[in-house]
Amino acid sequence: MKKLLAVTACPTGIAHTYMAAESLQKAAGEKNVPIKVETRGAVGVENELSAAEIAEAHAIIIAADTDVDEARFAGKPIVKVAVAQGIKIPGQLIEQALALQASAGTAAPQAQVAEGSDGKRKQPVFYKHLMTGVSHMLPLVVAGGLLIALSFFKLNPDEGTFLANLLKIGGAAMGLMVPILAAFIAFSIGGKPALAPGLVGGMLSTQLGAGFLGGILAGFLAGYVAKWLIQNIKLPRSMEGLKPLLIVPFLSVLVVGLLMVYVIGTPIKSLMDALTVWLEGIGSGNKIMLGAILGGMMALDMGGPFNKIAYTFAVGLLGSGVYGPMAAVMAAGMTPPLGIWLATVLAPKKFTQEEREAGKVASILGLSFITEGAIPFGAADPFRIIPAFMIGSGLTGALSMVFDVTLRAPHGGIFVLLVPNAISPVFMYLIAIAIGTVVTALLVNLFKKKTTQL
């Protein structure tokens, strides 16, 4: 049974709002269509639609002469008319709404899943927002990652050459990854007004070195801040027009920006400083331990502060002629995307079509030491996937140290093999990576519960 929802509103909020509501209810009753009508009139909002009802609804009819916040209906088909039409042609509106399909809008995939699943079990709202962000980020990761991988046909290409430009384009795409992730998590929560603070929060996360985990945080922050501002700022009617154009954009970006810089940014900086000191303390005293820690850090946030510290630490040691940690770090950075690819191959049923395709791309990114290739999977289900990545990467890092592998180039992935003597011993290095990949894949499939929609 398709359920419908409706919202009615008019400027005076006395007559039309309620007539349209009654009209729609009457017409729906005659057609035996369940409907709930929210009225936004002079006596306040009555019969308010809940998030759960919206998620379950087939479509939404808005019959209003005032602005109705549509953000909460993101992805749902909407029939939008003047309030008078709700009174005049309620039957037609109901037919129209029933005939609509979920649009290709943002939250549509979730909406269809909710409909398609036999039970009424819905994804927790937290994951819905994450998935909206991840699905918009994914094309950037794929395009950026592949372009960067292509540019590795020659390591350190000269400035201005074609390969260097590919690297530049890929870098631009990768640079947008976290802002888009944050922006669409925010969008999923707060609608269009949340996009701007989400983008800015994501950008700041990148600039502050907070990586994709910071981006996820920024997205949720921006979404709820924008939503709160929209609901709670009250202006005299003559200035109401300023709210969406000036007040909400300005305040939401300001608040999210300040929170990112002072509340997220400052601790991240002290964390990074402390970690660096700590890593130096471990030194090469216990090299297996060091390899495991560096590996785990690479996989923890894949481009965030932990990853950067581990990487910078290893690169720093290159200058002192210590090549072991670099090898461990690169190997550990390759196993998350490689592991996710293997996981999709081993248990395709646990993944959606989209994820399986993304898995193929991840294999290339993994070989190229573009750890970010695994971010969409990690971001979609962080509490299950990231531990799997960390264990696999930690193991690989430790093995690389055990095998005394040395690496003299700071990047390049498998393409480093093309450079004579950059890695040795090559065979043991590949074994370390292979073991980590297999362990990651098995753990991912063990932890992963069911298909998550991308």
Mind telling me the catalytic residues? 10
22 vs 53 by CB, closer to other proteins = 22
The site string for other proteins over 341-370 (x = CB under 8 A, - otherwise) reads: ------------------------------
Does the footprint of other proteins cover residue 8 (CB under 8 A)? no
Min CB(89)–other proteins separation in Å: 9
Cα separation, 411 vs 315, whole angstroms: 9
Does the footprint of other proteins cover residue 18 (CB under 8 A)? yes
12 vs 207 by CB, closer to other proteins = 12
Min CB(82)–other proteins separation in Å: 7
Please list every residue from 76 through 115 that binds other proteins, using CB under 8 A. Answer: 82, 84, 87-88
Does the footprint of other proteins cover residue 47 (CB under 8 A)? no
65 vs 95 by CB, closer to other proteins = 65
90 vs 394 by CB, closer to other proteins = 90
Min CB(90)–other proteins separation in Å: 9
Min CB(355)–other proteins separation in Å: 50
Among 7, 17, 179, 328, binds other proteins (CB under 8 A): 17
44 vs 285 by CB, closer to other proteins = 44
Q: Identify which range of 11-19, 157-165, 191-199, 291-299 contacts other proteins by CB under 8 A.
A: 11-19
Among 5, 9, 23, 344, binds other proteins (CB under 8 A): 23
Min CB(378)–other proteins separation in Å: 51
Does the footprint of other proteins cover residue 42 (CB under 8 A)? yes
* Nearest-10 Cα torsion for 328, 371, 300, 404: -10
Does the footprint of other proteins cover residue 16 (CB under 8 A)? yes
Q: Write the burial class of residue 32 (CB in 10 Å: 0-12 exposed, 13-18 middle, 19+ buried).
A: exposed
17 vs 400 by CB, closer to other proteins = 17
Among 7, 19, 68, 338, binds other proteins (CB under 8 A): 19
Min CB(32)–other proteins separation in Å: 18
Min CB(64)–other proteins separation in Å: 12
Does the footprint of other proteins cover residue 31 (CB under 8 A)? no
Site residue total, other proteins (CB under 8 A) = 20
Q: SS3 letters for the chain? A: CCCEEEEEECCCCCCHHHHHHHHHHHHHHHCCCCEEEEEEECCEEECCCCHHHHHHCCEEEEEECCCCCCHHHCCCCEEEECHHHHHHCHHHHHHHHHHCCCCCCCCHHHHHHHHHCCCCCCCCHHHHHHHHHHHHHHHHHHHHHHHHHHHCCCCCCCCCCHHHHHHHHHHHHHHHHHHHHHHHHHHHHHCHHHHHHHHHHHHHHHHCCCHHHHHHHHHHHHHHHHHHHHHHCCCCHHHCCHHHHHHHHHHHHHHHHHHHHHHHHHHHHHHHHHHHHHHHHHCCCCHHHHHHHHHHHHHHHCCCHHHHHHHHHHHHHHHCCCCHHHHHHHHHHHHHHHHHHHHHHHCHHHCCHHHHHHHHHHHHHHHCCCHHHHHHHHHHCHHHHHHHHHHHHHHHHHHHHHCCCEECCCCCHHHHHHCCCCEECHHHHHHHHHHHHHHHHHHHHHHCCCCCCC
Does the footprint of other proteins cover residue 65 (CB under 8 A)? yes
4 vs 221 by CB, closer to other proteins = 4
Contacting residues toward other proteins, per CB under 8 A: 11-12, 14-19, 21-23, 26, 41-43, 65, 82, 84, 87-88
